[in-house]
Amino acid sequence: MEHKRPVIASVSSGKGGVGKTFVTVNIGAYLAHRGKKVLIVDCDLGLANIDVMIGVKPSLTLKEAIFEDKIIDDIAIHTKHGFDFVPASSGAIEMAQLMYEDIEKIKEGLTRLAQHYDTIILDTGAGISESVLQFNLFANKNIILLNRELTSLTDAYATIKVIYQAFGRNSFNIIVNSTKNEEEAKRIFNHIDSICKRFLGFPLQYLGHIVYDDVVPRSIMKQETLLTHQDQSTPAINCASIAENIVSWQ
């Protein structure tokens, strides 16, 4: 039987420090808990940190896939959180300066792996570099993360605008992170949604929000997901809700 194409979701923000990696890892854990086969790929190629967040020490990374011709299939690690993980390297200047052909090599490897998964989540780097744009193009669902900071909103809009202008993409799913409550999250979403409608001519989709709570930094310090650290907390429930929305894409 032919395997249907998985959801391939890119997670981008424009601005750094918004929480992409935290959100990616926790959504991946909840999807795996729901019985989905999940692959998370650290696409922050020069400043990778998912391995640190989940407490693994990979022996191979995407650096070896590009420069030593290792197969991405052999790089993927199964984690205690239920999802598989393709790590990248941190502090490697050559990874921060990849050519288009190098990124295509990664995408080809992920295409081979795709048949084994229901969901692939691409945790992209900050900014709008060539690699960020190419991974957004590779994805069939684009998630944009922002928080309550004005600079986060402006950078999120800039990211949406560039992807739209470069590739014609006009469907973006918004997650508001580190918000006080749902009311504030909806207000932030409505603001960026109205800007996109006015200047780009299309609406955005609200995927969900995550309320800030001290359990978030504590779970990061313990290298645990909210699912295992405190699954009844408000941020955990928020992540579970977002994961359910992603399940509906399949």
pTM of the full structure: 0.96
Instruction: Please report which residue ranges of 139-225 form alpha helices under DSSP H.
Output: 150-167, 182-199, 215-221
Nearest to 175, CA basis, from 137, 138, 148, 202: 148
Tell me what pLDDT residue 3 has: 58
Which parts of the chain sit beneath pLDDT 50?
Answer: 1
Tell me what pLDDT residue 1 has: 42
Domains of the chain: 7-247 (3.40.50.300)
Element (H, E) at 227: helix 226-229
